Amino acid sequence: MVVEQRVIGLTGDEAVAFAIKQVEPHVVAAYPITPQTIIVERFSEYVADGLVRTEFVAVESEHSALSACVGAAAAGARAFTATASQGLALMWEILYIASSLRLPIVMAIVNRALSAPINIHCDHSDTMGARDSGWIQLYCENSQEAYDSCIQAWRIAEHPDVRLPVMVCLDGFVLSHTLENVSVLPDEAVKKFVGEPSVPKVRVEVPANGGGTRVVEVPYKLDPWSPVPLSMGTFAMYDCYFEYKRQQEEAMKAALKVIEEVGREYGELSGRYYGLIHPYKLEDAEVAIVGLGSAMGTASVAVDELRSEGYKVGLLRIRSFRPFPAEKIKEALEGVKAVAVMDRVLSFGGPSGPLYSELAATFYHADEKPPLMNYIYGLGGRDISVDDFKAVAKELLRVAETGKVEEPVKFLGVWG
C-alpha cells in the first residue's frame, strides 16, 4: 500500500541529505568538495539541531572519510559518506578495501569532471574510473530518484547475498544544485523499510578444550569483547586470494536480483519503482538511444518530439551500471535496428566509451546484433540539448536503413 507523502522543494544534494537523515546511520564521515559539499553540510545541521543521533566525523581528507566508514562498518555500524571527482580519486585505495571486506557502506557521488584543468561541473569520469572497484553503482536521472535510491541502497548493500558497498550517483549541478519537487516518505516508513542493520555470521576454527580444533559461528564484525575476536583484511597468498575475488563477483551477480526485489518493495511503499533499466517507448522502436544519468530526461523529451513527427525512436536508461544488467538490456533492445550509446566520459586510448564497450560485449555473442554508434558528450558539464538528441536519433535512423556505421565513435558538441 502506498503511504501518504509530502512534497518538498529540494536540490539533489538536499534530497540525499534528507534521505540519510531519515535512515539515521550510526556514522557519517565528511569532507567537503564541490558540488557535493551541501550533502554533508546539510547533514551536519541535522546533527547540530539534534534531529539525528548520528556520530558526525569531520575528517581531514576524503581518504580519511572512507577510512572512517570502513572502521565503522567493520564494527557493525551503518556508515555513510559523500564525495565527488578528485575526492573520489583520493579514496581510490580505500574503495577496494571497503568492497573486498564486504562492508555495506553507502556513498553518494555527485558526478564531476576530473582535473586538470580544474572543472567543477558534471561528467562521469570519476565514477566510471571506479567501475571495477567492486562497488555497486546506481545512476540517477533526477533528485527524486537520488532520494529514493539513497533509501534503497541500505537494503541492497546489507542483503545477505550481497554485502557490498553502494554508490548512488547524481550529476553535479544539473541535479545537485537544481531545485525540484521531491516526494518524501514519513520518517517512520523509511525506518521500517530499511530496518535494523544485520551482521552475518562466519565460521571460525578455534582451539578446542583437550586439544584439536572446533568450528564456531561468530558475527562478522570487529569486536574486542567477543570471545572469538576476528581480524579483517589480513594477508592472503595466491592459494586463497583468487577465491575471495570470485566471491565478490558472485555477490555482484546476486545484486542484480536484489536491486529489482528492493525496487519492487519500495514501489509498493512509495508508488515509484526503480529497476536495473528503464525503457521508454521501446515497444515498437526502430532505433534506440541508450545512456545513464540526468541527460536521459532530456533524451526522453527528444523521443516524444520525434514520435510526434512520426519517427519510431525509443530510449533505454540504464540505472545499474554495476552490476551490469546485460541480459535485461538485450531483452529491452530486441528488434531494434540501430542503437546510439551515450557516454559522458572519455576512455583515453580505448576504442570507445565504457558504456559502449559494455553494450558491444553484451551483443557480441547474440544472434542479432544491432549496429552500435558511440557518442561522447557533455564532458566538463557541456550542455546537451533536445535538438542534439534529435540529431543523434535521425543519424541513427539512417544507419538503420543502410545497416552500416561509417564512424563508430563521435564527439557530440565539440567546437571545430
Residue 253 lies in a domain: no
The string over 370-409, giving b where at least 16 C-beta atoms fall within 10 Å of a residue's C-beta and e elsewhere, is bbbbbbbbbbebbebebebbbebbebbbebbeeeeeeeeb
Please state the domain count of the chain: 3
Please check whether residues 166 and 231 belong to one and the same domain: no
* 228/329 same-domain check: no
pLDDT of residue 228: 85
Asked whether residue 50 falls in the same domain as residue 137, the answer is: yes
Residue 219 maps to a domain: yes
Residue 1 belongs to a domain? no
Any idea what the CATH number is for the domain that residue 156 is in?
Answer: 3.40.50.970
Q: Do residue 69 and residue 170 come from a single domain?
A: yes
Whether residue 205 is found in the same domain as residue 177: no
Sheet holding 106-111, edge to edge: 55-58, 27-30, 79-83, 106-111, 166-171, 136-139, 320-322
- Is 381 within the bounds of a domain? yes
Residues 205 and 303 both lie in one domain? no
Q: Is residue 80 part of a domain?
A: yes
Residue 69 has what pLDDT?
98
Range of the domain at 374: 278-411
Closest CA to 87 of 26, 145, 40: 40
Predicted confidence pLDDT, tens digits, the chain (416 residues) = 899 999 999 999 999 999 999 999 999 999 999 999 999 999 999 999 999 999 999 999 999 999 999 999 999 999 999 999 999 999 999 999 999 999 999 999 999 999 999 999 999 999 999 999 999 999 999 999 999 999 999 999 999 999 999 999 999 999 999 999 999 999 999 999 999 998 999 998 888 888 899 999 999 999 988 888 888 999 999 999 999 999 999 999 999 999 999 999 999 999 999 999 999 999 999 999 999 999 999 999 999 999 999 999 999 999 999 999 999 999 999 999 999 999 999 999 999 999 999 999 999 999 999 999 999 999 999 999 999 999 999 999 999 999 999 999 999 999 86
Are 36 and 111 contacting, i.e. CB atoms less than 8 angstroms apart?
no
Q: Please report whether residue 358 resides in a domain.
A: yes
Q: Which of 222, 239, 269 is the last residue of a domain?
A: 269
Query: Cα-flanking dihedrals φ and ψ of residue 258, to 5°?
Result: -65, -40
- Residues 170, 215: one domain? no
Q: What pTM value is reported for the model?
A: 0.98
Give the torsion sign (CA, 239, 243, 244, 249): positive
- Let me know if residue 391 belongs to a domain: yes
In sequence order, which residues have a C-beta less than 8 Å from that of residue 64 and are 6 or more positions away? 29, 31
**Is 416 among the domain residues?**
no
Same domain, 263 and 329: no
**CATH at 403:** 3.40.50.920
100 and 137 together in one domain? yes
Structure-block grid coordinates of residue 68: 572512517
Cell of 117: 584543468
171 and 215, same domain (yes or no): no
